[in-house]
Amino acid sequence: MAIFKGAGVAIVTPMYEDGTVNYDKLGELLEEQIAGKTDAIIICGTTGESSTLTHEEHVDVIRYAVEKVAKRIPVIAGTGSNCTDTAIYLSQEAEKAGADGLLLVTPYYNKATQNGLIRHYTMIADSVTLPIILYNVPSRTGCALAPETIAHLVKNVKNIVGVKEASGNISNVAKLMSLVDGEIDLYSGNDDQVVPILALGGIGVISVLSNIAPEQTHNIVASWLEGDVQKSCRLQLEAIELIEALFCEVNPIPVKKALNLQGKEVGPLRAPLFEMEEKNAQRLEKAMKAYGVL
């Protein structure tokens, strides 16, 4: 059984002006997401600035989210690292905290071989009992999961059940689905490719767009799953301008700006990320107004 079907939000981590985590604001965002029909919370992912959280903060944010959501929808914890031992530690702590699943990004910077990736993920999976979603995003990590490697892991490691595909390579996604006969929980990792991924057998998206448009993003997937392909396609295309604006600078710079434009007061970014350039901020604001979320 899949951890979730539909639109899961890769939620931001709100900060106070001094850079500390704003748990009260995080609680508000979680409640708004649930009210907006989001199907799952993905906490401490890329959008949550996980790479600049201390280990203690990382675990505390996961624990807070699990307690706040209180099993109303699944909470999936981002616990990947470029160090296998660190990923094991964070994964075990997330399991202790009560997370429903894990999202494990490929080990960045090290640029592991495919055999190294198999060992890395197998070691992490063997250390926990939670279901695991692999995260393939080579544009950020410099390390790509080959379709054959994903297929090997899904077939041979019982609690590796899915993949968040953010490579942008639809041909590789098709190859993967042929290798596993569709027996994998496939999620789009790119908001502009939700419908193409669904068409190849996907069951949802792990979304940045959901931060500012949770119900609209949910509806893209829900329409498809209900059999209304035409509506799903229309909703996908209507969101393209805003999606492009949300990625005109590196994530999560624009989405935090968008939330602040909405009056959510999610605070600043942690260095080395920096505030959005003014021309891009104007583009984002225009796209938000056109889409009806501002």
Which residue type is seen at 185? Answer: D
Contacts of 123 (CB under 8 A, 6+ apart): 84, 88
Distance CA 294, CA 290 (A): 8
Active site residues: 135, 164
Tokens encoding 9: 């939000």
From residue 173, alpha-carbon distances to 51, 54, 84, 205, 271 in Å are 27, 33, 26, 14, 34
Tokens encoding 188: 């789009």
Distance CA 1, CA 38 (A): 19
Contacts of 79 (CB under 8 A, 6+ apart): 44, 58, 62, 87, 90, 91, 93, 94, 102, 103, 104, 124
Distance CA 109, CA 138 (A): 11
Helix residue ranges per DSSP H, the chain? 23-35, 55-69, 84-97, 114-126, 138-141, 147-156, 170-179, 194-199, 214-225, 229-238, 240-246, 253-261, 278-291
Distance CA 249, CA 280 (A): 8
